[in-house]
Amino acid sequence: MNSLRKYLDNIKPNFEKGGRFEKFRSTFDAFETFLFVPDKVTRSGSHIRDSIDMKRTMTIVIIALIPSLLFGMYNVGFQHSLATGNTSSFWQLFGFGFLKVFPIVVVSYVVGLSIEFIFAQVRGHEVNEGFLVTGMLIPLVMPVDVPLWTVAISTAFAVIIGKEVFGGTGMNILNPALTARAFLFFAYPADMTGDKVWVAGLKAGKNMVDGFSGATPLGNLAQNIHKLPDHMDAFIGFIPGSIGETSKLAILIGAAILLYSGIGSWKIMISTLVGGLVMGLIFNTFAVNDYMRLPFYEHLLYGGFMFGLVFMATDPVTAAQTERGKWIYGFLTGMLAIIIRVFNPAYPEGVMLAILLMNVFAPLIDYFVVESNVKKRMKRYKQAELLKPLSTDTIKEPSHEYSK
């Protein structure tokens, strides 16, 4: 790799201040640091540093997302074959799904990263790695038949309005991937709702088998049609839905990776899960319609609840940042997700709105948690103030009550 390093060192002066391509400094820097971890050393403070960096962190999240992505690709082919009645081999199904999903991934990354590079360049910053994860999350929460141009627009919206206007990765208030989905949902509802978008090729309406609806289980529930898949299918993921959300098994593999590496907050995952289950139980207790009667644990099997709780609610930037706040944030997210899901007939999926809403409230939760810590401290400070005349210079001789 020495020749590559030498080549980079050779062309580097062109990109530095005063160089010919100074305008592309951030871009060069992004590629250089991608290829080589820089030779920068510490100057003061802690002379040694942990091997972790943002690239490694984000890579681990992407690895955690890969099972969902691969299964999503296969399921796209599988659902299509169900709808059209064609039987094909595993690789044919996967290949069909790959060709459907891969372009969405490419569009998401190309659009998002281009914007990130431009912003980094304008600001004179290094390119942030945050979008590596967002770019993967966006395709996974999209319906497969979403037009590519809307993916591009919603990605651009999410990156610019959802993130860069706040100062970039680490400064945003809303989860960018969910911002993209929410934008698409409200701006182009036809591409995001109804029965036609969840299975590849249904919108075109070709060669459908009789009786195939294409609706997601939650869509069916919302319309009071009882056509729920059996539990195993829903767990493995052979149901219609957003590309990455259907397989609970793949999501759990991702969750295991996030939890083991310590990157995903187990507190948020557990509390969101508990929040959802508790709300489900409450609905079961006071059930007045069929949707409320849905056994509470089945909520985990349908829709994006599991995907949201593992990959979206745990986003460290937009979730609550204090440890106690995380419990509250997760619990409320879980409850809200189920409430919106059950009570909102227009929109059968609640987890997206629940997380976005709680993103907005996360700073408030943190405020109260931090404030309770401050309150204790201020109380102590006040007491010290009251005792002050006793403890300053005026004391002549110290006592020695415990000498010898």
Partner 1 sequence: MPQHFKIKKGLNINLAGKAEKVIGTTNTSGLYALKPGDFHGLIPKLEVKEGDSVKAGSVLFTDKSQPEICFTSPVSGTIAAVNRGERRVILEVIIRPDNRNEYETFKTGSPLSLSREEVKNLILRSGLWPAIKQRPYNIIADPAVTPKSIFVPVFDSAPLAPDYDFIIQGSESDFQTGIDALSRLTAGRVHVNIHAFTVSPAFKQVRNAQVNTFEGPHPAGNSSIHIQFVDPLSKGEQVWIVYPQDVVALGRLFTKGFYDASKIVALCGSEVENPRYYRIISGASVKSITNGNVKESVHRYISGNPLTGTQVTSESYIGYYDSQISVIPEGNYSEFLGWALPGFEKYSFYRLFWSWINPRKKYELDTNIHGGHRAFVLTGMYEKVFPLPIYPMQLLKSIIAEDVEQMERLGIYEIAEEDFALCEFIDASKTEMQALVRKGLDLMKKEMS
CB atoms within 10 A of CB 96: 22
130 is a contact residue toward partner 1 (CB under 8 A): yes
CB of 193 to partner 1, least distance (A): 33
Q: State which of residues 186, 288, 388, 389 lies at the interface with partner 1 (CB under 8 A).
A: 388
The torsion angle over the Cα atoms of residues 165, 167, 170 and 175, rounded to 10 degrees, is 0
Q: State which of residues 167, 189, 345, 363 lies at the interface with partner 1 (CB under 8 A).
A: 167
CA dist 301 and 231 (Å) reads: 7
- Token pair 């990109």 in the structure block, residue: 15
35 is a contact residue toward partner 1 (CB under 8 A): yes
Read off the tokens for 356: 């976005």
Q: State which of residues 208, 261, 277, 296 lies at the interface with partner 1 (CB under 8 A).
A: 261
In sequence order, the 6+-apart residues with CB closer than 8 A to the CB of 343 are: none
Q: In terms of CB distance, is 276 or 325 closer to partner 1?
A: 325
CA dist 390 and 388 (Å) reads: 5
- Token pair 């691969």 in the structure block, residue: 70
65: amino acid identity, one letter: L
CA dist 95 and 73 (Å) reads: 8
37 is a contact residue toward partner 1 (CB under 8 A): yes
152: amino acid identity, one letter: A
Q: Which residues of 58-67 are buried (b: 16+ CB within 10 A; e: fewer)?
A: bebbeebbeb
CA dist 158 and 149 (Å) reads: 14
CB of 333 to partner 1, least distance (A): 16
4 is a contact residue toward partner 1 (CB under 8 A): yes
Q: In terms of CB distance, is 92 or 372 closer to partner 1?
A: 372
Q: CA 279, 285, 287, 290 torsion: positive or negative?
A: positive
Q: Which stretch binds partner 1 (CB under 8 A): 70-78, 106-114, 275-283, 367-375?
A: 367-375
User: Total residues contacting partner 1 (rule CB under 8 A)?
Assistant: 75
3 is a contact residue toward partner 1 (CB under 8 A): no
Q: Which stretch binds partner 1 (CB under 8 A): 222-230, 275-283, 305-313, 379-387?
A: 379-387
Phi/psi class of residue 167: alpha, beta or left (left: φ > 0; alpha: ψ in -120 to 50)? Answer: left
364 is a contact residue toward partner 1 (CB under 8 A): no
DSSP state of 289: S
Residues 226-255 that bind partner 1 (CB under 8 A): none
Q: Which stretch binds partner 1 (CB under 8 A): 108-116, 155-163, 215-223, 372-380?
A: 372-380
Q: State which of residues 19, 95, 147, 316 lies at the interface with partner 1 (CB under 8 A).
A: 316
Q: State which of residues 236, 321, 339, 347 lies at the interface with partner 1 (CB under 8 A).
A: 321
Q: Which stretch binds partner 1 (CB under 8 A): 65-73, 91-99, 274-282, 395-403?
A: 395-403
CB of 273 to partner 1, least distance (A): 18
Calculate Rg over the CA atoms of the chain: 26
Residues 44-63 that bind partner 1 (CB under 8 A): 44-57, 59-60
| Mask for 265-304, x = binds partner 1 (CB under 8 A) | x-x-------------------------------------
Q: State which of residues 110, 171, 204, 287 lies at the interface with partner 1 (CB under 8 A).
A: 171
CB of 6 to partner 1, least distance (A): 11
CB-based contact 127:165 (threshold 8 Å): no
Q: How far is CA 272 from CA 90, 207, 267, 333, in A?
A: 35, 41, 8, 6
Q: State which of residues 210, 285, 377, 389 lies at the interface with partner 1 (CB under 8 A).
A: 377
Helix (H) or strand (E) holding 114, with range, is helix 90-123
Q: State which of residues 84, 169, 242, 333 lies at the interface with partner 1 (CB under 8 A).
A: 169
Q: In terms of CB distance, is 52 or 287 closer to partner 1?
A: 52
Q: How far is CA 114 from CA 108, 172, 178, 179, in A?
A: 10, 18, 19, 18
Residues 322-361 that bind partner 1 (CB under 8 A): 322-323, 326
319 is a contact residue toward partner 1 (CB under 8 A): yes
CB of 54 to partner 1, least distance (A): 5
CB-based contact 112:138 (threshold 8 Å): yes
- The helix/strand/coil state of 133 is helix
Q: State which of residues 18, 87, 186, 385 lies at the interface with partner 1 (CB under 8 A).
A: 385
